[in-house]
Amino acid sequence: MPKKTSLQIKNLRVAIGKTKILNGVSLQVNSGEVHIIMGQNGSGKSTLLSVLMGHPKYEVTGGSVTINKKNLLKMSVPERAQAGIFLGFQHPQTVSGVTFGNFLRLARNSVAVAHNAKAMPIGPAPFAVLMRAEMEKLKMDSSFISRFINEGFSGGEKKKSEILQMALLEPAIAFLDEIDSGLDIDALKIVATELVEIQKKQGMALVIVSHNPKILDFINPDKIHIMSKGKIVAEGGKEIVHQIEQGGYDALIKE
């Protein structure tokens, strides 16, 4: 991964058909930073993340997104992954017939080769060692290596598997969409602690979408952004979340 990465979103506007969903989002994310995005249901948080990863169902109608000054919006999804972007889904998909271990190993090899054509692909046995070590930290059973992606995983297991992917793909910027939803209190602590450790170790930028103020017990963000109706309407530190807890989003959204 390039060591220093900077993502700049300027006045991004997005629609599906005639429905406008993002109405001018601006956000800058640099390596080493942790951002949290909060906001009402339907405010456009998942849309923003999907657009950054390149989901084809959205039409970008205005604004720009650059990664290290290159136009991200012109890149294919694999090119975005190779540029160091990772998305942990709010609702991870099941992929029957593909084992988690094979998927992750091939994805890691393809990112490594994109960065260095001479990189040696890692084989199944050494990769399983790496994967097991990370799974132990996340308290995941190693049997998941040979299970099909997300097939029959519980809600919390799916979320842990997104973190496992992030840990092993070593992205420059990871977007995690409600990574904490559906986790029990112990799992939240395990996942959040591991997230912080990986972020520090790899120096990546983390952007976490969450509805849960509890995550702030474990993660100390550089900035919290509040979305409403397709825009970022407030930014600040932890105090902003206390305001929301007391008065709801209405207390903060002055429009």
Q: Which of 2, 4, 11, 16 binds ligand ATP (CB under 6 A)?
A: 16
| Phi-psi region at 203: left, alpha or beta (left = phi > 0; alpha = psi -120 to 50) | left
Q: What is the distance between the alpha carbons of residues 83 and 67, in angstroms, rounded to a whole number?
A: 8
Residues in contact with Mg ion, shown as a per-residue x/- string from 66 to 105 under the rule CB under 5 A: ------------------------x---------------
- Name the binder of 225 from ligand ATP, Mg ion, none, CB < 5-8 A by kind: none
**Any contact of residue 240 with ligand ATP (CB under 6 A)?**
no
The stretch among 27-35, 37-45, 150-158, 221-229 that binds Mg ion (CB under 5 A) is: 37-45
Is the distance from CB of 237 to CB of 213 less than 8 angstroms? no
Task: State the burial class of residue 180 (Cβ atoms within 10 Å of its Cβ: 0-12, 13-18, 19+).
Answer: buried
Least Å distance, CB 36 to Mg ion, is 14
Beta strands in the chain (DSSP E): 6-16, 19-30, 34-39, 59-67, 70-71, 85-88, 95-99, 148-149, 173-177, 205-209, 223-228, 231-236
Nearer to ligand ATP, 46 or 202 (CB): 46
**Any contact of residue 31 with Mg ion (CB under 5 A)?**
no
Least Å distance, CB 62 to ligand ATP, is 17
Tokens read off for 186: 């112990």
Is the distance from CB of 230 to CB of 58 less than 8 angstroms? no
Is the distance from CB of 47 to CB of 23 less than 8 angstroms? no
Residues in contact with ligand ATP, shown as a per-residue x/- string from 20 to 49 under the rule CB under 6 A: -x-----------------x-xxxxxxx--
Is the distance from CB of 229 to CB of 43 less than 8 angstroms? yes
Nearer to ligand ATP, 15 or 106 (CB): 15
Least Å distance, CB 68 to Mg ion, is 27
Q: Which of 46, 161, 202, 210 binds Mg ion (CB under 5 A)?
A: 46
In the complex, which residues of this chain contact ligand ATP (CB under 6 A)?
16, 19, 21, 39, 41-47, 90
